[in-house]
Chain A
């Protein structure tokens, strides 16, 4: 079903994409790029779900991807709204400037 390519390569590819996203979330300071990295993580999962779905010959995995896409859109909408609110208040979206909460 997977055109002769072993499932391990699909797992590896999505794991690599996922790790790039995760490292990006932790390392980058621009909020927009952090959101992009989160999207990358979710899309890595989508890739894996679709390939497993094909492997098992079972459509449930693909339906799950629909749910992830819809939820990711909602999450990003909320995230960008919060971000535009922050921009109005401090005129910047660098995460280093967001450190007002401490003991």
Chain B
């Protein structure tokens, strides 16, 4: 890699974009044109595992879903702090292990708090 890049160096990327976009557009247009169309009321209904659908799809979710989702995001994101440790595992040595385990211990305190508060208990 040098600093001598010119706009023409990006030509392959542009070509790839055009091809990718072209493929999608062509197949969509082609299937629309070629396929037979028989529209009946049942065919236009939204399909859900053969069960007749009723009501609006945009109903508020139960708060339990929300709680689980939020807790998932929180504990999920904390994992990123382990990546730098994993990459430098050998260099950091025993000090790194102690630091990461104290971090995990603190996370576990939070996890235990979550369980004790019955945040993930579904049955009342």
Contacts and interface: CB of A to CB of B under 8 A. Distances in A.
Interface class of chain A by DSSP: helix
Contacts of A98: none
Contacts of A59: 84
Most chain A C-beta atoms within 10 Å of own C-beta, residue among B3, B4, B76: B3
A80 B70 contact: yes
Q: Sort chain B's interface into a size bin.
A: 10 to 19
Contacts of A16: none
Contacts, number: 35
A77 B73 contact: yes
A84 B49 CA distance: 31
Contacts of B74: 73-74, 77
A3 B3 CA distance: 7
Interface of A: 3-5, 59, 63, 66, 69-70, 73-74, 76-77, 80-81, 84, 87
Interface of B: 1-5, 60, 63, 66, 70, 73-74, 76-78, 80-81, 83-84
